[in-house]
């Protein structure tokens, strides 16, 4: 018994000591350190000139600078760019110029969202298999927007601090802060003496103090703090791309899609069939009414009542059809090739949707021909054209199984969105209505509508002769537009065109 205890104690004494393993701190290259510092500082300018005050030239130059820094970083990281990636990078530079050519706030906001999504998609493509990214485009967009910027959110601060170790950085920073605090009384005395000595200096300091009011100072501080978070998100996206931490596995995506396909086809076909029959009844019973959009016959309705009676309902039906087609393809249970019945139902719904969208657009064109153009009429018509392109792509996909729907959809959306942005919608609306009124096509030129438009409309109307402006009754509108144009609204092409007239 004693021998057994002695052997047990000896074995216990020979066991290696338990040591706690510490996580190794991430190491950063010199390029990553510089990039983190630049993005953390630029985050404030992104918030101020990209969100709070989306100006023209300043915002364009800011985004051009950020895109250039990003591409330099990716080049130094030796990430390969193929032709599509290069075209996407050029597209980002082109759309960054939208802020300068238009004063439309809605277009600027939509363009900012587009730049975020397109830049995220570019980074996600560089860190993954490009074919898989485009094959699962909706999932790729979600991950590029919500995963890349936040999965390594704290790395920007770690990278920025890593470059200051061993250099007494914080000690010198504290010395600078103490020196600035100590010089406040002396600076105030010198400023007082200079104000008494020179009136020009008094005006300059007065303008500076008025610009740095307590309210504006608080806003700048809040924007700076939010800018730090924005800069950290931008660095996180670049860091994930460089280190390949956000990986899209095509096999896992296929497995997840397969796990969702649990509804038997018979159930879905039975659920969709009444809708298909209803469309047939609808088309036959209302054929003359809906064909009126092409023939000009309104069946007793006024043009306004006729267009409003069915346009937005048809738009809603088209959106529902798109959701039905997507739901059928997503949830139907199949083990291999897409069932023939599913393709037939999808084709039928696509044909009905294209017919409905075409009818809706014909009704709206007739309405515009009589009453003129407004932002709502323009934007909804643009959206319907985009839907028609989408339905035609889905229709072709039922027969061409290898058709790259993701690439075609992305390219079509970029082209359509570019057409919307670079056409300067407010300028298009003002010119269209003015020409229609001057030629006698419409009876009234709605000047009240102009006050809801941006300076793009004022730039167009200022190019008309004084006689035409008087006929349009826009003289007071142009004067009000000039008086209401501040600094942030003056840095775009439209404001420049108004000043030249």
For every one of its 501 residues, what pLDDT tens digit does the chain have, with 9 covering 90 and above?
A: 455 455 445 544 554 554 444 555 567 788 888 888 899 989 999 998 888 877 788 899 999 999 999 999 998 888 889 999 999 999 999 999 999 999 888 999 999 999 999 999 999 999 888 888 888 888 888 888 888 899 888 888 888 887 665 556 555 556 666 776 677 677 767 767 766 666 666 666 666 655 566 677 778 888 888 999 999 999 999 998 888 777 888 788 877 777 777 888 888 888 888 888 888 877 776 565 555 544 555 554 555 554 555 567 777 788 888 888 888 887 887 656 778 888 888 899 999 888 888 877 877 888 888 888 889 889 988 988 998 999 999 999 888 888 888 889 999 999 999 999 999 999 999 999 999 989 888 888 888 888 888 888 888 988 888 888 888 888 888 887 776 666 777 778 888 887 766
pLDDT of residue 132: 85
Helix residue ranges per DSSP H, 83-147: 83-96, 98-101, 105-126, 130-135, 137-146
Domain boundary among 401, 420, 439: 420
Q: How many distinct structural domains can be found in the chain? A: 3
Domain boundary among 367, 402, 420: 420
Q: Residue 245 and residue 21: Cα distance in Å, rounded?
A: 23
Distance of CA 340 to the CA centre of its chain: 37
In a domain, 4, yes or no: no
In a domain, 488, yes or no: yes
Q: Work out the number of other CB atoms within 10 angstroms of the CB of residue 209.
A: 10
Note whether 291 and 158 are same-domain residues. Answer: no
Q: Which residue carries 């039928």 as its tokens? A: 348
Q: At what angle do helices 184-197 and 199-211 cross, to 10 degrees?
A: 130
Nearest Cα to Cα of residue 381 among 392, 398, 370, 367: 367
In a domain, 356, yes or no: yes
Q: Residue 49 and residue 340: Cα distance in Å, rounded?
A: 53
Note whether 60 and 94 are same-domain residues. Answer: yes
Note whether 390 and 328 are same-domain residues. Answer: yes
In a domain, 379, yes or no: yes
In a domain, 141, yes or no: yes
Note whether 464 and 390 are same-domain residues. Answer: no
Q: Residue 350 and residue 365: Cα distance in Å, rounded?
A: 22
Q: Which whole-number Å values give the CA distances from 271 to 155, 218, 222, 276, 279, in the listed order? A: 50, 57, 53, 10, 14
Which residues, in sequence order, are CB contacts of 70 under 8 Å at separation 6+? Answer: 119, 238
Which residues, in sequence order, are CB contacts of 12 under 8 Å at separation 6+? Answer: none
Nearest Cα to Cα of residue 398 among 456, 450, 351, 467: 351
In a domain, 252, yes or no: no
Domain boundary among 391, 420, 449: 420
In the chain the first and final C-alpha atoms are separated, in Å, by 110
Q: Which residue carries 């504290």 as its tokens? A: 174
Six token digits for residue 182: 């100590």
Nearest Cα to Cα of residue 129 among 214, 249, 229: 249
Find the domain containing 371 and state its range: 261-420
In a domain, 309, yes or no: yes
The dihedrals phi and psi of 256, each to the nearest 5 degrees, come to -65, -40
Q: Residue 190 and residue 184: Cα distance in Å, rounded?
A: 10
Note whether 285 and 374 are same-domain residues. Answer: yes
Six token digits for residue 314: 């048809």
The dihedrals phi and psi of 289, each to the nearest 5 degrees, come to -65, -45
Note whether 138 and 154 are same-domain residues. Answer: yes
In a domain, 16, yes or no: no
Note whether 338 and 367 are same-domain residues. Answer: yes
Note whether 467 and 370 are same-domain residues. Answer: no
Is residue 495 within 8 A of residue 455, CB to CB? The reply is yes
Note whether 89 and 136 are same-domain residues. Answer: yes
The dihedrals phi and psi of 29, each to the nearest 5 degrees, come to -80, 170
Which residues, in sequence order, are CB contacts of 227 under 8 Å at separation 6+? Answer: 40, 42, 43, 44, 45, 46, 47, 48
Q: Which residue carries 């860190």 as its tokens? A: 127
Q: Residue 67 and residue 64: Cα distance in Å, rounded?
A: 5
- pTM of the complete model: 0.81
Q: Residue 474 and residue 461: Cα distance in Å, rounded?
A: 8
Q: Report the DSSP beta bridge partners of residue 332.
A: 263
Q: Which whole-number Å values give the CA distances from 20 to 17, 23, 454, in the listed order? A: 10, 10, 64
How large is the C-alpha radius of gyration of the chain?
31
Note whether 328 and 280 are same-domain residues. Answer: yes
Note whether 283 and 335 are same-domain residues. Answer: yes
Note whether 276 and 338 are same-domain residues. Answer: yes
Nearest Cα to Cα of residue 451 among 487, 426, 424: 426
Q: Work out the number of other CB atoms within 10 angstroms of the CB of residue 413.
A: 15
Nearest Cα to Cα of residue 391 among 324, 439, 338, 304: 324
């Amino acid at each position: 018994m004693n021998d057994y205890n002695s052997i047990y104690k000896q074995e216990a004494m020979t066991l290696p000591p338990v040591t706690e393993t510490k996580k190794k701190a991430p190491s950063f290259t010199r390029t990553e350190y510089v990039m983190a510092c630049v993005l953390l500082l630029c985050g404030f300018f992104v918030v101020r000139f990209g969100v709070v005050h989306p100006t023209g030239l300043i915002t364009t130059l800011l985004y051009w600078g950020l895109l250039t820094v990003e591409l330099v970083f990716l080049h130094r990281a030796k990430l390969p760019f193929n032709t599509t990636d290069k075209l996407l990078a050029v597209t980002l530079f082109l759309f960054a110029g939208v802020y300068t050519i238009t004063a439309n706030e809605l277009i600027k906001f939509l363009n900012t969202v587009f730049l975020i999504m397109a830049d995220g998609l570019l980074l996600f493509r560089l860190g993954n298999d490009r074919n898989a990214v485009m094959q699962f485009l909706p999932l790729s967009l979600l991950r590029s927007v919500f995963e890349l910027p936040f999965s390594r959110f704290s790395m920007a601060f770690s990278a920025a601090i890593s470059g200051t170790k061993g250099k007494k950085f914080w000690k010198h920073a504290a010395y600078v802060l103490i020196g600035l605090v100590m010089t406040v009384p002396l600076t105030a005395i010198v400023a007082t003496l200079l104000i008494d000595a020179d009136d020009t200096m008094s005006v300059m300091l007065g303008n500076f103090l008025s610009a740095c009011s307590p309210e504006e100072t608080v806003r700048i501080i809040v924007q700076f703090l939010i800018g730090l978070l924005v800069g950290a998100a931008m660095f996180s996206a670049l860091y994930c791309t460089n280190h390949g931490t956000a990986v899209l596995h095509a096999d896992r995506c296929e497995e997840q899609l397969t796990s969702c396909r649990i509804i038997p086809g018979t159930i879905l076909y039975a659920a969709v069939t009444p809708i298909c029959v209803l469309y047939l009844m609808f088309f036959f019973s209302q054929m003359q009414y809906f064909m009126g959009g092409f023939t000009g016959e309104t069946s007793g309705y006024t043009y306004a009542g006729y267009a409003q009676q069915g346009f937005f309902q048809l738009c809603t039906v088209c959106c529902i059809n798109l959701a039905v087609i997507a739901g059928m393809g997503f949830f139907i249970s199949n083990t291999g090739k897409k069932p023939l019945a599913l393709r037939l139902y999808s084709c039928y719904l696509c044909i009905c949707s294209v017919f409905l969208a075409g009818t809706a657009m014909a009704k709206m064109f007739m309405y515009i021909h009589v009453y003129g153009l407004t932002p709502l009429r323009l934007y909804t018509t643009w959206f319907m054209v985009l839907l028609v392109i989408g339905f035609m792509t889905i229709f072709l996909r039922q027969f061409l199984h290898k058709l790259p729907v993701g690439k075609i959809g992305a390219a079509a959306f970029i082209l359509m969105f570019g057409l919307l942005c670079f056409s300067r919608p407010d300028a298009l609306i003002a010119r269209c209505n003015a020409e229609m009124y001057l030629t006698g096509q419409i009876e009234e030129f709605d000047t009240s509508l102009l006050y809801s438009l941006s300076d793009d409309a004022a730039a167009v109307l200022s190019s008309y002769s004084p006689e035409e402006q008087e006929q349009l009754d826009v003289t007071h509108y142009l004067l009000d537009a000039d008086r209401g144009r501040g600094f942030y609204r003056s840095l775009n092409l439209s404001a420049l065109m108004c000043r030249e007239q």
